[in-house]
Amino acid sequence: MIITNNEEALRVKCTNALPDEISPIIDRLDKELQYSAALGREGLGLAAVQIGIPKNVAIVRLENYRFNLVNAKIRQGYDKAIFESEGCLSFPGRYERTMRFQEIIVDNEVEPYSFIATGLLAVVCLHEIDHTDGILLPDIALKEIKTIKKLRPNDLCNCGSKIKFKKCCGK
């Protein structure tokens, strides 16, 4: 069963999966994602920590893309953009504005070993890899800006990154 609204259980820092652990975890993730869809809660991916397994394993099931992310890391990200409605099966009905890379390079321990993801596929991969690092949707949600203020290059960026504007969204 997918863990919902339990930030303590979802913030567990995952450990790398061993070779003999991978297939059973992926099978269970596929079944949980299918079960969730049968209940009317379709998802595009699922991380092992969301079903109580604190391992660096996640699946991405987006149209024709079927990726298994095992001990995956983001090597590089390009072109930050605002994603208007990112959701999460662990926070049913909650959608947030987020700042995500539009293109990423992913290093993975199973095929494909290294790949480039763009657009929605990049967002889903980032989301699931965030889960394995204990980062949740509420953590990355953009804060609404009440006043409009012209940012100078050395001001902190208003996307919430805590980086200077000139090195973040002002590029």
- Give residues with Cβ within 8 angstroms of 136, minimum separation 6: 7, 10, 11, 88, 90, 91, 130
**Residue 142: burial class (beta carbons within 10 Å; 0-12, 13-18, 19+):** middle
Rg (CA), the chain: 17
Phi then psi dihedrals of residue 65, to 5 deg: -95, 125
> Quick check: is 128 catalytic?
yes
What are φ and ψ of residue 116, in 5° steps? -105, 130
- Residue 168's φ and ψ, nearest 5 degrees, are -120, -110
Shortest CA distance to 59 belongs to which of 88, 25, 87?
25
Note whether 97 and 81 are within 8 A (CB): no
Check 21, 63, 109, 128 and give the catalytic one: 128
Active site residues: 128
